[in-house]
Amino acid sequence: MSDIDPRLRERFAAYRAETVAHLSGPGPDQARRTLRRRRRTRAVVVAVTAIVLAVLPIVANAALRGDGSVPTPAQTGEPTTPPPSVPAPTPSTPLTPSAATPSSPAAPDGRISRAQLLAARVTLPAWPSYAQRCDTSDVRLQPWSRAQNGPLLADLELGYTDLDDDGATETVALVTCAAGEGSVKQLVAFDRDERGRIVTMARVVGFAKGLDDITDAVVTEDGKVRAQVVDIQPCCSMPSYWAQQQWRTYRWTGDGFTQVEGPRSFGRDPRLTDLVLSGGDLVLGPSGVDGTRPGTLTLTVTNKGPVDVAHIGFAQLSFVGTLSAADSATCVAWREGDESGANCRTAGLKSGKSRTYTFHLRVDPTELNQPSVRVVHFDDQDRHWRDLTYGDNRVDVRVVS
């Protein structure tokens, strides 16, 4: 098997070189055009909500006639009353249910149970553009446990409070939908119309730049919504402690929700620093009896700050060779499986400092396949962190003799 491997490696390298040489691809600009086109066609049905609210008085009148025949909004058969005069009976501003129905005995009860919400067909506010398989119109929410495609009702207690000050209760629910390896989420307010149907008020908060998860929410007695928002959604090999949480508070303004309390952004994660790895020269000595050669690898790590690093780790060193026993005492073998990829860890590096490391390795030249080495930031609790600047934590190893 060991002699198959290098041969296959060689053949696949040739295969890759040949294929890559023939490929060009439509290019990043084409990706941009595609994305723009998709965003344009995603123009959302938010206006529909307003229309539904505007025709509420008509529907209510029909219901009061008691004949059970409710005319559909499209053909409200009041020949003497053209549509523009419809909002006339409302003295104050329209658009909120309370203002549109000041004289009715009570605003519709918008307290919706989980079972009722799951049984209804609802319209959802738009999802982020990359959540392509997440519908917005005529959606039947699925319970979260049946985690599949399409929008789901998250396993978070529903919030009940009077959001729009109409004297009746509305419902706040967290809806989610799988996208890629993670999921998109949004907190949505639901109400009922005069006929008792579930209608969507608006999104309270959804994903945005730097806001990649929503993990908790509560409503307050005075009609506000508090949401716990998170800057990243740990997925795949990302540790959960990378995420930062904040509580932000939102309030209904008549046509949407706006943030009224709490921090507005996450800013730069104060736990991260900017490490830069440079060097990468590998000097090989004469071949030994077993075909391996002694190698000396020089790497320089600079901590550009602003955070001191408790331990510097090196990843992918094992692709270069085996560390000498003496070096292993300085760069101590690091346990596998913490997803940092580090093979060994050494002393820390304060912010603003730079240090050069020389590693002595046993190198099998036939196993060298364009290796690169990466530097890893560990804190004093052995947690590894990502870097403030992407791309300069890795350096290609170059054989110089």
Partner 1 sequence: MTAMTGARANEPPSATAAPAVGQVATPSFDDFYHAHFRNVTTQLGAYIGDFSQAQDLAQEAFCRALARWDRLAGYDDPVAWVRQVAWNLARSRWRRLRTARNHLLRQRQTEATMAGPTPDRVAIDAALAQLPANHRRAVILHYLADLSVNEIASQEGVAEGTVKSWLHRGRLALAGLLDESTEGVGNV
Q: Which amino acid, 8?
A: L
Choice between 76 and 322, CB closer to partner 1 = 322
Taking the complex as a whole, the smallest distance from the CB of residue 292 to partner 1 amounts, in Å, to 17
Q: How far is the CB of 130 from partner 1 (least distance, A)?
A: 4
Minimum CB distance to partner 1 smaller for 171 or for 292: 292
DSSP 307-353: S-BSEEEEESGGGT-EEPHHHHHHSEEPPTTSSS-EEEEE--B-TT-
Q: Are 274 and 389 in contact (CB under 8 A)?
A: yes
41 binds partner 1 (CB under 8 A): no
Q: Can residue 8 be called a binding residue for partner 1 (CB under 8 A)?
A: yes
CB-based contacts of 273, cutoff 8 Å, min separation 6: 303, 304, 305, 306, 307, 308, 309, 351, 377, 385, 387, 388
CA dihedral 142, 147, 152, 157 (to 10 degrees): 100
**Residue 12 near partner 1 by CB under 8 A:** yes
Give min distance, CB of 58 to partner 1, in A.
41
Contact predicate 167/159, CB 8 Å:
no
Residue 127 Cβ vs partner 1, minimum distance, rounded to whole Å: 11
Where does 72-223 show beta strands of DSSP type E? 142-143, 152-153, 159-161, 170-179, 182-192, 198-206, 213-219
Closer Cβ to partner 1, 33 or 140, answer by number:
33
Q: Quick check: 375 binds partner 1 (CB under 8 A)?
A: no
Single out the segment in contact with partner 1 by CB under 8 A; choices: 25-33, 73-81, 104-112, 115-123: 25-33
Stretch that binds partner 1, among 44-52, 62-70, 104-112, 386-394 (CB under 8 A): 386-394
Show the CA angle centred on residue 345, arms to residues 340 and 347, nearest 5°: 130
137 binds partner 1 (CB under 8 A): no
CA–CA separation, 212 vs 231, rounded Å? 5
Q: Provide, rounded to whole angstroms, the least separation between the CB of residue 44 and partner 1.
A: 16
Please identify which residue in the block is written with the tokens 């390795």: 361
Report the DSSP pairing between strands 384-385 and 372-378: antiparallel
Contact 334, 342 (CB under 8 A): yes
CB of 216 to partner 1, least distance (A): 21
Give yes or no for residue 27 binding partner 1 (CB under 8 A): yes
Q: How far is the CB of 315 from partner 1 (least distance, A)?
A: 10
Residues 139-158 as b/e (b if ≥16 CB within 10 A, e otherwise) read bebbeeeeeeeebbbbebeb
By CB under 8 A, is residue 205 in contact with partner 1? no
Window 338 to 367, contacts with partner 1 (CB under 8 A): 352-354
CB of 270: closest distance to partner 1 in angstroms?
Answer: 12
| Strands, sheet with 245-252, edge to edge from the N-terminal-most edge strand | 213-219, 224-230, 245-252, 257-261
Q: How many residues bind partner 1 (CB under 8 A)?
A: 67
Site for partner 1 in 254-313 (CB under 8 A): 268, 274, 276, 278-280, 300-302, 304
Structural element, H or E, at residue 296: strand 293-303
Check if the beta carbon of residue 365 is closer than 8 Å to that of residue 293.
yes
9 in contact with partner 1 (CB under 8 A):
yes
Could you say which of 5, 255, 261, 380 contacts partner 1 (CB under 8 A)? Answer: 5
Q: Least distance in Å: CB of 362 to partner 1?
A: 19
x/- map, 310-339, partner 1, by CB under 8 A = --------------------------x---
C-alpha torsion 257→260→262→266, nearest 10: 60
Residues 146-175 that bind partner 1 (CB under 8 A): none
129 part of the interface to partner 1, by CB under 8 A: yes
In the complex, the residues that contact partner 1 under the rule CB under 8 A are: 1, 3-9, 11-12, 14-16, 18-20, 22-28, 30-32, 34-35, 128-130, 132, 180-181, 209-210, 212, 232, 236-238, 268, 274, 276, 278-280, 300-302, 304, 336, 352-354, 369-370, 386-392, 395-396, 398
